[in-house]
Amino acid sequence: MSESGVLAVYKYLDQVVDVMEKIKGRADFAGHEVFSPTSYHEIEHAGGFGSSPVKWFTLVGGMTGTISGFVLPLLCDYDWPMVVGGKTAGIYSLPAYVIIGFELTILLGAIATIAGMLVMGRIPNPKATIMDVRTTDDHFAIFVPGIDESSEQATLLRSGGASEIRTVGVNG
């Protein structure tokens, strides 16, 4: 399947954000994609994406690290007790487990955050198409499928300050 559409290339972040605000929620721009050299909060806000779900990956990873950081040494302490000062093994040694719990919280939280970014960002994506090489460097682009350069949608994209508008085909 090959779907064609119009690609509008922008030099400045402000231009692409203004156009995104204008086309937000319009049915004639359904399925549009925005390409950026890196992540910008302005684009996320203009696109109406809301809060990132990656924070839940971090929370689950951190909580798993905390729980396992206390359970693992506690189980080891019950299996191989080290009696110091006549204290029984287990819960009496709990303050020593704080260090292990803290370290595993940081480790598993960081690993879960990286995994969450990869999963939510759909990386790697072998079907991804680079429509304009400049979007990997310093330009922005908006692709609107199913329209041509003479349409009303293309005129709106052009009026937003697009430095170039051209018809492209996407292989899917």
Instruction: Tell me: pLDDT of 1 over 50.
Output: no
The pLDDT assigned to 105 comes to 98
Containing domain of residue 24, as a range?
A: 2-50+128-171
Handedness of CA 94, 95, 99, 104 (dihedral sign): positive
Q: How many domains does the chain have?
A: 2
Q: 25: domain CATH number?
A: 3.30.70
Could you tell me which of 155, 115, 142 has the C-alpha nearest to residue 5?
Answer: 142
**Residue-wise pLDDT tens digits, 81-119:** 877 777 777 777 788 889 999 999 999 999 999 999 999
Residues 15 and 41 in one domain: yes
Which tokens hold the place of 127? 């079907």
Residues 20 and 46 in one domain: yes
The pLDDT assigned to 171 comes to 61
Residues 147 and 134 in one domain: yes
**Residue-wise pLDDT tens digits, 140-164:** 999 999 998 999 999 999 999 999 9
Instruction: Tell me: pLDDT of 80 over 90.
Output: no
Residues 18 and 67 in one domain: no
